[in-house]
Structure 1
Amino acid sequence: MTFKKINAWVHLWFGIASGIVVVILGITGCILVFEQEIRSISSPWFHAESNGKALLPPSKIQEAVLRSLPHKEVHSVWYHGENHTVHVTVNSDSTVYVDPYTAKVVAMVDHEDFFHIVEEGHFYLWLPKEIGEQIVGWGTFIFFFLLISGLILWWPKRWNKKSRDQAFKIKWKARFKRINYDLHNVLGFYSIIIALLLAFTGLMMSFQWFNKGVFWMSGGIDQPRIEAISDTLSMPQTKMLVQVDKAWHKGINQLAEHNPKDIIVSFPEKASEAIYVCTDMFSGTWRDVYLDQHTLEVLPASNKKLLDENFAALIRRVNYGVHVGAIGDLPTKILFFIVSLICASLPITGFYIWWGKQRKSRKKGRKIIKNTYQPA
C-alpha cells in the first residue's frame, strides 16, 4: 500500500509538472508524422514530369541555380526520385526547387514555413535551443516513467469480469466524469507499448548519455570519430564538378540498394573536402557515404550498408525511422498518429480527474464544517 501511495503521488505531481510539454509534443508529433504526405499534396513545386527524359546531373542543376541566383553558393542537391523536383540548398533562408529534367528553377520557398514552426515546437517548445532541448528531453524522460507508473495504477486488484471491463472497456453511456476516467485509464493502457517506444526513441535523440548508454548496453563500442578528408596528393588538379557528377552516378548505380534515385550530393568547397553522398533513404533510414573527391573511393568515415551493421549500430540507424513511424510506411504512421494523439490527451484527462477529486474534497469539507457548526 505504501508503494502504491508513493507511485500514485509520483504519477500525479510529475504528470502535472510535465503535462504541458507532453501535450505540445503529442500534438506537434501528430502533424509531423504526415509531413511528407501533406507537403506532397499542398506543394505543387514538389512534382515534375519526366516525359521520357533522364535526370540531369548535379552540375547542370547548379548551373541553372547560379543563372537565376548568381550571388549564391550551392551546397548540395537532393534528388527525390522520378517525377519529383530536386531541392537545392544555397546560402540563403530559402530552398530552391529545380525541375531535374529541364533545369528550370520552379520555386523558391522560405525555410521558415509551417512545418519548420511545428518542428521548432516539437524540438525546442519555441524556446531558445539550449533551454528548449533540455525541457523537451527531461519532459520526455519523466513521461517515460509516468507510463510505467500509470501501468501500475491501471493494474486491476482482481481479475474478475467487472474489473476486466473497467480495465479494457470505455463505458460510453456513463457520465462525462466516468468517460474521462476511462479515456485516461483504458486508452493509456492500449497505447502504452507504442508510447514507450516514442519516449525511448525521443530520449535517444535528446541525450547523448542516454544514446551512448543504450549503444553500450547493446554491445557497441564507441570508436573515435573518423574525419572524411580527401587525399590532395593523388589528383589535386581534378575538376570538382566533373567529380561530383561521377559521385552522383556512382551513388545511383553502385552504392544504393534502396531507392537509388533518391539521393543527396554535396559540392565540396576545397580540395581536401570529401564529396558527401546520402543514399539508401527508405523507411526513415539513410546511409551517409563520403567519397574521396579525387579518386571517388569510399572513405572509412562512411556508414556501412544497413544489414552489415552490428546490433548496436543498427539501433542508432533505425531510431529516427521508428520515432516518426516511417519504419512500416503508412500503416505504422497511422498507428503512431493515433498513439501520439492519445499521449497528448493523457495530461488533459489526468488533470480533469485530479481537479474533479479536488472539487469533491472541497465540497465534502464545506459540508462537514456546515454540519459541525449547525445549531442544535
Structure 2
Amino acid sequence: MMTILKKINAWLHLWLGLASGIVVVVVGLTGCILVFETEIEDMTLSHLHAEHEENAPMLPPSELWKSVNKALPDKKIFSVWYHGADRTAHFSLDSDSSVYVNPYTGKVVAMIDHEDFFHFILDGHVGLWIEGKVGTMIVSSATLIFFILLITGMVLWWPKKWNKSGRDRSFKIKWRAKFKRVNYDLHNVLGFYSLIIALILTITGLIMGFAWFNKGFYWLSSGGESAPTYLRPFSDTTKVNVVTSFENVDKAWRLGVEKIGVYEKDAIIVSFPKKSSDPISLCVDMYNGSWRYVYLDQHTLEQLPSDVQIDDLGVAQWLRRTNYALHVGAIGGLTTKILYFIASLICTSLPITGFYIWWGKRGKNKKKKGKAISQLRSTELSITQSKN
C-alpha cells in the first residue's frame, strides 16, 4: 500500500510540476524583483524625497489639493497619500499619471506615468501580462499546484533512513559530484531549506487569489468562525445632504495622525468624498506592508462601525491584516526581504532543476529500452541461427 502511495505521490509531483513549471518560473522571478521595489525606488527616484526647512509642518490635504487641481483642473481627485516625514505625497486621480507634491510647500514635484518598470513586472507577477481575469486565474491555479508540489516534494525528500548517509543526501549538496547529482541536490536540498518561506508565499498568494481559500483559511485560523461580512460605510445624510467642506477633510487628517493612528502617524491616506453619503476614509498605521482603514462620517467625523480596532485583533484578523506584508516579506524589514529574495530565487529554480532531472531519467529510460530491445533481437538471432 505504501509503495502505491509513494508512486502516486511521485507521479503527481512530476506531472503537476511539468504542467505549472513555466508559470512558476515567471511568478518566482518577478517576485524576486518586486521584493526590493521600495528600496530600489528610494535610491533611484528623486521625486520621492521632499526638501523642507527644519521643523516645517506638513500642509493639510486641502492645501495640497489646490496645487494639484491648479495643475490638472479637469481631473477628478480621489485621495492623497502622505508617505511620512521627508517624503513627497502623491495623489490618486482619474489619470494615467500619479502626481507627487512636496507636503511642506505644496509644490508639484513630478507627474509620473503608472506604466513604469515595476508596474510592468507586477503585471507579469499577478497575471502573466494577460489582460482581464484569465491571467490572474492562471497564476492562482499555478500557485495552488505549487502548494501541492511543496507537500509532495516534502514526501519525496524525506530520508528513507536517518543515518549519516541519509542525512547527507537530504541536507547537503555534493558540489564535487557530476552535474546531474549537483542538479538533483539543488532541487532536493534547496527545496527543503526554502520550504517554510515557500509555503508562506503560496498560502498568502492563494488567500489573495481565491475567495474560497481566503474564507477557508480564516475559518481554520479562527477556530471555526466565519469571516466577518464587509459592511460598506455611509455618511449620515438625514441632517446634511451636501458634500462636506475641505475643513472636515483637514480635521479628519489631523484625527488620523494625532489620535487614530497608532504608529507611523505621518504616513496616511485621506480620501476626498464625492457624494454626501461617502465617508472620509483614512488608511492609517501604514508600516512594513500593513495598514488598516478607518471610515469617518464626513459631516460629524464620527467613526463608522465598519472596521476593527487595532488592539482588538484576534489571530485570524491579524493574519488577514498582515497577509500582504507576509506575502512580500515586509513584515520583518530588510532581513526578511533578503530571506524572501533567496527563497523566491530557489522557487524559480525548482521547475528548471526538476525538468532537468525528468529529462535525464527520460533519456536513461530510452537507453535502457534500446538496450533491452537490442538484447532481445540478439537472442532471437541466436535462436534462429541455432535452429538452422
* Shorter-normalised TM range: over 0.9
Structure 1 length normalisation: TM-score?
A: 0.96
Identify if the C-alpha distance between structure 1 residues 274 and 173 changes in structure 2 by more than 3 Å, giving closer, same or farther: same
Match of 2:350 in 1: 346
- Measured in 1, the distance between the counterparts of 2:226 and 2:165 equals 51
1:1-376, aligned counterparts within 5 Å? 1-52=3-54, 53-217=56-220, 218-219=222-223, 220-236=225-241, 239-305=244-310, 307-374=311-378
* Distance in 1 between residues matched to 2:323 and 2:94, nearest whole Å: 30
Moved more, 233-242 or 311-320: 233-242
Cα deviation, 1:19-75, whole Å, max 9, x if unaligned, reads 111111111111111111111112110001221221111111110011111111211
Matched residue type, 1:297: E
User: 1:368 and 1:211 mapped to 2: Cα distance?
Assistant: 52
SS of match in other structure, 2:332 = helix
Is contact 1:78-1:86 (8 Å) kept?
yes
Q: Unpaired runs of 5+ in structure 1? A: none
Q: Partner amino acid for 1:320?
A: Y
Q: Alpha-carbon deviation of 1:318?
A: 1.2
Deviation for aligned residue 1:232: 2.0
User: Residue 300 of structure 1 aligns to a residue in which SS?
Assistant: coil
User: Distance in 1 between the 2:19 and 2:66 partners?
Assistant: 54
Identical amino acids, percent of aligned pairs: 55
Counterpart-to-counterpart distance in 2, 1:193 and 1:143: 13
Q: 1:369: Cα distance to partner?
A: 3.1
Which of the pair has more CA radius of gyration? 2
Aligned AA for 1:269? K
**TM-score, L = length of structure 2:** 0.93
Given that residues 243 and 274 in structure 2 are in contact (C-alpha distance below 8 angstroms), is that contact kept between their aligned partners in structure 1? Answer: no
Question: Could you report, residue by residue, the CA deviation over 1:273-310 in whole angstroms, capped at 9, with x for unpaired residues?
Answer: 100110001121101011100111110113321x3112
Matched AA of 1:312 = A
1:97-122 CA-partner distances (Å, limit 9, x unpaired): 11111111111111111111111111
Matched letter for residue 255 of structure 2: K
The number of aligned residues is: 375
**Structure-1 residue corresponding to 2:386:** none
Shift of 1:253: 0.3
Give the superposition deviation at 1:235: 4.3
CA shift in 2, pair 1:222/1:163, >3 Å = closer
CA 223–190 in structure 1, closer or farther in 2 if over 3 Å, else same:
closer
Please state whether the residue corresponding to 1:88 is helix, strand or coil: strand
Secondary structure in structure 2 of the residue aligned to 1:326 = coil
Tell whether the 8 Å contact from 1:140 to 1:202 is kept in structure 2 after alignment. yes
Match of 1:328, SS state, is coil
Superposed CA deviations along residues 130-154 of structure 1, whole A, max 9, x for unmatched, are 1112111111111111111111111
Displacement of 1:373 after TM fit? 3.7
Amino acid at match of 2:20: S
Cα gap change, 1:138/1:239 in structure 2, threshold over 3 Å: closer, same or farther?
A: closer
CA RMSD of aligned residues (A): 1.4
Distance 2:377 2:243 in 1: 97
Aligned partners of 2:24 and 2:91: how far apart in 1? Answer: 35
Given that 2:127 and 2:136 are in contact with CA atoms closer than 8 Å, whether structure 1 keeps it comes out as yes
In structure 2, the gaps of 5 or more residues are: 383-388
> Is 2:244–2:276's contact at 8 Å kept on the other side of the alignment?
no
Instruction: Render the CA deviation track for 1:181-214: whole Å, top value 9, x for unaligned.
Output: 0000000111111111111111111111111111
Q: In 1, Cα distance between the equivalents of 2:333 and 2:365? A: 48
